[in-house]
Structure 1
Amino acid sequence: MTLRRFILALSLSLLLPGVGSVMAEGDSTYKLASGDIIRISVFGEPDLSFDEIRLNDAGTFSYPFLGDVRAGGKTAAEIERTLTERLKGNYLVDPRVSVSILKYREFFISGEVKTPGGYAFQPGLTLRRAIALAGGLTERASTSRITIIRDQDPQRRPEQATLDTQILPGDTINIDQGFF
């Protein structure tokens, strides 16, 4: 590594102290669901490696020899273990499987933003940044009447949010009008 790259990396780590840990932490605990895109690599087995696999509506994907693999509600590490266990013995002697998340499912924002719709999730995303992605607030928007329905919540209950609330993939955000 050159001195210039070292200084750049050090500067970035000082300016953005939580970014690396958020991404690593998000990948290790993040539960997959419908719409996520993953990459599967099996060392030395190009026929069992795939650059892009999108989880279907049921949170599963089809895999050679194994059929449908349930990925919804599991982490990438859990999928690695599942594939390793199921491939070992019958198909491969010592499979080395790697699963990574290429693209998270979208989050959705509606109400008093300039461009409502679905947007690509990024690790470390806050409501403030989500609003910026949607073109900002309209002149009628309320910053205190914001609700989020979490994709992970089976009862789909709206919860109050602040501009610093963390956004997760699949979340649905609604920004109400303020009273004047």
Structure 2
Amino acid sequence: MKHLTNLLAVALAFSMFFSATSQASNNYKLGAGDTIRIDVYNEPDLSMEYLVSSSGQIEYPYLGKLDVLGKTAGQLQQAISNGLKNDYLIDPKVSVNVVEYRMIYVNGEVAKPGGYHFQPGLTVEKAIALAGGFTERASTKGIRITPSGGGSDLSRLPLTHKVSPGDIIIVKASFF
């Protein structure tokens, strides 16, 4: 009985994780630097991976250039499905998934400053952990984020603040 209870607990944890991950990815807007995988069921010539360029476009067979910048995977999936329907395929089954998210950058008073791949659910604290943690001189209250969307800088953020793809996190030095 205890074994069954543990198994059910693990199954519940996995379902909650995948539900949260898929919910985050349903709202995720594609941008330059993302790697996406497009699969068309039973059509290997139409199934491929793309790195979204700075132009925000991909070149897709039969459909030409497609704008993907700012679209969700679901919106792109629908656009490809509609484009292939009737002229090329009767009832295309298309899926679009993000294989690798674009980078976030952590600079300043961290052990390993640099670029790190975004992951859904990433917080300032987790991003700093990816960068090796704070240095001895780091100010835990002197953290600033430059959002990728071009908004104004955010400062004095809690470590639980959510990070977005493309954000730049800067950890300032403390005076003492």
Q: Normalising to structure 1: TM-score of the pair?
A: 0.88
Matched, 1:7 2:6: yes
**Does residue 126 of structure 2 align to residue 132 of structure 1?**
no
Instruction: Classify 1:46/1:173 alpha carbon distance in 2 versus 1 (closer, same or farther; 3 Å).
Output: same
**What is the distance in 2 between the residues matched to 1:83 and 1:66?**
8
Residue 137 of structure 1: CA displacement?
0.5
The structural deviation recorded for 1:8 is: 4.1
Q: Distance in 2 between matches of 1:84 and 1:170?
A: 29
Using structure 2 for the length normalisation, give the TM-score. Answer: 0.90
**Does the residue aligned with 1:129 lie in a helix, a strand or coil?**
helix
- Give the 3-state SS of the residue equivalent to 1:11 in structure 2: helix
1: CA distance, partners of 2:39 / 2:24: 20
- Counterpart selection for 1:151 from 148, 165, 170: 148
Distance, in Å, in 1 between the alignment partners of 2:93 and 2:3 is 36
Equivalent residue, structure 1, for 2:167: 171
Q: What are the residue-to-residue correspondences of 1:104-143 with 2, within 5 Å?
A: 104-143=101-140
- Within the candidate set 41, 50, 64, 1:53 is matched to 50
Task: Output one character per residue of 1:108-136: Cα deviation in whole Å (capped at 9) or x when no partner.
Answer: 00011011000122221111111111111
Instruction: Compute the displacement of 1:7 (Å).
Output: 3.4
Tell me which amino acid in the other structure corresponds to 2:50: I
2:121 maps to amino acid? G
Q: Is the 8 A contact 1:19 1:124 kept in 2?
A: no
**Aligned counterpart, 2:93:** 96
What letter corresponds to residue 172 of structure 1 in structure 2?
Answer: I
Per-residue CA distance 1:93-120 (angstroms, 9 max, x = gap) = 2111111111101100001101100012
Alignment partner, residue 42 of structure 1: 40
Match of 2:20 in 1: 22
* Pairwise CA distance, 1:13: 3.9
Structure 1 residues 172 and 45, CA gap change in structure 2 (3 angstroms): same
The sequence identity of aligned pairs, in percent, is 41
Shift in CA distance, 44/10, structure 1 to aligned 2, threshold 3 Å: same
Mark the runs of 5 or more structure 1 residues left unpaired by the alignment: none
Structure 2 regions of 5+ residues with no counterpart? none
**Aligned Cα RMSD in Å?**
2.2
Q: Kindly indicate whether residue 62 of structure 2 is the aligned counterpart of residue 65 of structure 1.
A: yes
Q: Matched residues in 1 for 2:4 and 2:56: separation?
A: 40
